[in-house]
Amino acid sequence: EYTVPIEIAVDEADQWTNDAANGKIVGVPTGFVDLDKTLGSMINGNVYIVAARPKKGKTSLLLSIARNAAKRYKKRVGIFSLEMSRMQVAQRLISQTAEIDLQKIIQGRLKADEWGKFNRGRDEVKALPIVINDLSAINIAQIRQTARRIKASGGLDLLIIDYIQLASGADKKFERRDLEVSAVSRGLKYLARELNVPILAAAQLSRAVEQRASQRPILSDLRESGSLEQDAYAVMFLFEQNDNKNKNVIGLEVAAHRNGPT
């Protein structure tokens, strides 16, 4: 099935272009207009990396994209949350949907007029076609097995990993951490091709970015593995806009894009 005459590949390319020209959604849009103009939506079979230092909004962005894909575009989304529990993921999704501060939801400090928004947000999130796995000590083989089951049990359109450096390579031990991260990165690339879905994964940046005056990330800041840049179809950075005009604003840069603009 993977060895075909060129005319089959050309027919597939022709179909893709005609679908796009006729306004049919090809791939999975992020729901962020400017980002979708640059990426042209997330294409099946490819890995997309969102990288940042801690507390810069990686998880918030990933969950926003998951919610957009599930709500606006009716895509079935699988989320592997290696850092947070499934309840914490649900709380964040409710917070985004209801537009209520997350701390108020966690602490139950809702005002009288916010309970209605909370209940509507809760019910809306509950109905989304999202599947969550929150096993923290998970390896790439377990991710592959679980993703296959998710797809077999009801379909799968987008897979989200939060985040790469928390996954282990396999049951075997690696001599160096960078080799293990490379194994995870390569495994995700193979999995995206096998399942024919886009994979959106968060990654941690090294501390080197904090030692520069601008604190704007560069590709060499990808922590523990240059293979993340090599395996990804696109690499995006989140960073704090620390000039006077943009206080408390997180910027997003498409730093690498295999077949498109940055």
Q: Which among 83, 124, 229, 253 is annotated as catalytic? A: 83
* Bridge partners for 201 per DSSP: 49, 161
Cα–Cα dist 87/85, whole Å: 5
Per-residue model confidence as pLDDT tens digits over 188-218 = 999 999 999 999 999 988 887 777 777 788 8
Secondary structure string (H, E, C) spanning 90-155 = HHHHHHHHHCCCHHHHHHCCCCCCHHHHHHHHHHHHHCCCEEEECCCCCEHHHHHHHHHHHHHHHC
**Range from 24-33, 50-59, 127-136 that averages highest in pLDDT:** 127-136
Q: Over 70: is that where the pLDDT of 104 sits?
A: yes
Residue 60 class from Cβ within 10 Å (0-12 exposed, 13-18 middle, 19+ buried)? middle
Residue 210: active-site member: no
SS3 of residue 23 by DSSP: coil
User: 81 or 2: which carries more pLDDT confidence?
Assistant: 81
Query: Which residue do the tokens 């206080």 mark?
Result: 247
Q: What is the pLDDT of residue 225?
A: 61
pLDDT at 259: 87
Does the predicted model carry a pTM greater than 0.85? yes
Greater pLDDT, 181 or 177: 181
